[in-house]
Amino acid sequence: MSEDIMLKMGRLSRAPAPRQALLRTVVCPMSQEKLDSGLLLWFPSPNSFTGEDCLEMQVHGGLAVVTAILRSLNSFPSTRHATAGEFTKRAFMNGKLDLTEVEGLADVIHAETEAQRKQAFRQMAGELNAIYSSWREVIVKCTASVEAYIDFSEEENIEDGVIEEVKTSLNQLCHQLERHLVDGRRGQRLRDGVHIAILGRPNVGKSSLINYVSRRPVAIVSPIEGTTRDSIESFLDLNGYPIVMADTAGLRNTTDIVESQGVQRAVNRSKDADLLVVMLSVTDLESTDDLEREISGKVTLLIDEYMEVRDVSDKSIIIVINKVDMNPRINQQTSFCFDTTRGQITISSLEKQSVPVVFTSITQEQGLDAFISQLTGLVKSLCADPSTESPSFTQARHRDHLSNCLDSIGAALNSIDTDVVVTAECLRLACVEIGQISGKISTEDILDVVFKDFCIGK
């Protein structure tokens, strides 16, 4: 069909050379009216995006031109508009892309930051699929070995030590899967954005901070306490990394029903966040003789009052001391860190984890470069490095299937010395789970390995 359309609408007697642009006058096949002048590119099967014959027409983008060409295309029998994602679906069905590459393609299209683009392109290029395919090959080979041991061990056609080799391979694979799963959701964070909540008492400068980072008036700034009564989100590009920053209601006890709901939403938003920006004002500090102890006490009190310690034990935290212009006695260091494992500081359960403290004056734009620098460093640590690190999974379904696969392999190892039939079934389940990530599920693969790796069935 594509070739017939090309010949008639391009007035050609035969198909042009594949993948070479050809300048032609595009005509209506019925009336032979000239519609436009454009480029025709012919991609014969199987060397096309979908694996099928494809014709690409590059014409001028005016509404009248496109409408006329679409009307002409509709005059051919069996032509219709493609449904959403149909070309990509056909590419998958024809084996041109696997599911991880399809997801990577979608992520490339929707990427809004440089880091997202890099990660999505690596996934679209098949780097993630290469990892999962290698693991799947190990499982398939182990399954084939166990199946062959069950069926042919009594005929002594199976080499000695097959089961021990299976154990070794599966144990190595378990370690690889476990390392891959404990990535801290870095790939997912990079894909969806690092969620950041600004937490603090009323009027410490939370709304001013999100406005500064956003470079636009996202939140209303007012000297009246309780102005912000809901969580206000802003999706931002922070030096190439995606973040979703939320300004929240000031934390305080109030009898105002609406404001109390805002405070509860602030607490809930903070519990769901990956990173907390805890803000204080210099007016909250009673003494400047021991800033470290003073700041740690105030932050610990704030978190203990509104959140449980375990709610922030797995979060990154940055502390901002704002309005330093109101107290000239404060030594305005760009930043310093204190160890959360010392003394009474218990805002993080991560041993030797330091919490950066930055002094700012948002109205005077002091210390904000240091804040952005510290925030960028924390965000980078929460995300995968799309340039150098091994690809991380980007979808929750990847984690689910890999976890199920790991469980099945564990069950196979537990049963291999007592019941190899159960082992074989567990390995088949593991193969199905990891195959569902890429969309490759076939029992024929196991049979192929049986007859290829073992001299059985000659």
Find the CATH number of the domain harbouring 432. Answer: 1.20.120.430
Task: Please check whether residues 236 and 312 belong to one and the same domain.
Answer: yes
- Record the tokens describing residue 139, joined without a space: 């499982």
Task: Please check whether residues 370 and 401 belong to one and the same domain.
Answer: no
Task: Please check whether residues 275 and 420 belong to one and the same domain.
Answer: no
**Number of domains present in the structure of the chain:** 3
Task: Please check whether residues 131 and 235 belong to one and the same domain.
Answer: no
Task: Please check whether residues 241 and 335 belong to one and the same domain.
Answer: yes
Q: What angle do CA 245, 249, 253 make, to 5 degrees?
A: 150
Q: Distance between CA 191 and CA 195 in Å, rounded? A: 12
Task: Please check whether residues 228 and 290 belong to one and the same domain.
Answer: yes
Q: 73: domain CATH number?
A: 3.30.1360.120
10-residue mean pLDDT profile of the chain (458 residues): values are: 88 90 91 92 92 93 91 88 86 88 88 90 89 92 88 62 90 94 85 90 87 80 63 87 88 76 81 89 75 77 72 80 79 50 38 72 88 92 80 85 94 92 93 86 52 46
Whether the upstream peptide bond of residue 46 has omega within 30° of 0, thus cis, is yes
- Return the pLDDT at 365: 86
Q: Which of helix, strand or coil describes residue 67? A: helix
Q: Distance between CA 350 and CA 376 in Å, rounded? A: 20
Task: Please check whether residues 292 and 336 belong to one and the same domain.
Answer: yes
- Return the pLDDT at 449: 46
- Record the tokens describing residue 396, joined without a space: 């929750």
Domain that holds residue 82: 2-93
Q: What angle do CA 140, 144, 148 make, to 5 degrees?
A: 175
- Return the pLDDT at 443: 52
- Number of helices (H), then strands (E), belonging to the chain: the values are 15, 10
Torsion of the alpha carbons at 417, 405, 132 and 427, rounded to the nearest 10: 40
| Sequence letter at residue 34 | K
- Return the pLDDT at 256: 74
Task: Please check whether residues 176 and 278 belong to one and the same domain.
Answer: no
Residue 366 backbone zone (phi > 0: left; psi -120 to 50: alpha; other: beta): beta
Task: Please check whether residues 267 and 369 belong to one and the same domain.
Answer: yes
* DSSP at 312: T
Residue 438 lies in a domain: yes
* DSSP at 159: P
Q: Distance between CA 415 and CA 407 in Å, rounded? A: 13
For residue 37, count other CB atoms closer than 10 A to its CB: 12
Burial bucket for residue 62 (CB in 10 Å: 0-12, 13-18, 19+): exposed
Q: Which residue's entry shows tokens 């105002």?
A: 256
Residue 108 lies in a domain: no
Give the global pTM: 0.75
